[in-house]
Amino acid sequence: MNREELLEREDEAWLEFKAAFLGLPPDRREVEGVVPGWSTRDLVWHCVHWAADVAEVLERLRRGDPEPEEGDTESRDAEILAEGRGMTWDETVLRAGLSRERVRAVLSAFGEDLPEAAVELFADETFEHYEEHAAQIRAFSEGHDRD
């Protein structure tokens, strides 16, 4: 995929993700169970954090710096979850938009010749991530509608 295709795919997935999380009734946003132990707000924050993280990694790649070593993702997710639970819904949504803008800007700064690592990282932590969690939020919402 070239840069424009990546940005277009991210935009489409973001709109679906945003529709899923904003379409959930406010009283359901903090309810755990979208995935075991996580609420919709938790999933949105999770995506926000990883989009911001990949923006930093992409900046390193653009400068020619080595990628940082991956740590224990499971313990890191627990830290991220705890951090996000200290924020309000509105703060989480605001930071989601800011993180999204940043990762798109960093990818755009590469120009046309994107390294394969940049393509993979961007895809993994933006549109593939949004699609995965949008589906979970929709299923959670539909399950509630049947109750």
pLDDT tens digit sequence for 32-68: 999 999 999 999 999 999 999 999 999 999 998 877 6
Residue 122's φ and ψ, nearest 5 degrees, are -60, -50
The residue with greater pLDDT, 17 or 80, is: 17
Mean pLDDT over residues 93-115, rounded?
93
The proportion of the chain whose per-residue pLDDT surpasses 90, expressed as a percent, equals 78
Sequence spans of domains, the chain: 3-145
Pick the CATH number of 3-145 from 1.10.3720.10, 2.60.40.2470, 3.40.50.11540, 1.20.120.450: 1.20.120.450
Residue 122 to residues 5, 101, 115, 135, 147, Cα–Cα distance (Å): 12, 13, 11, 19, 37
Give the per-residue pLDDT at 146.
Answer: 47
Using an 8 Å Cβ cutoff, are 129 and 47 in contact? Answer: yes
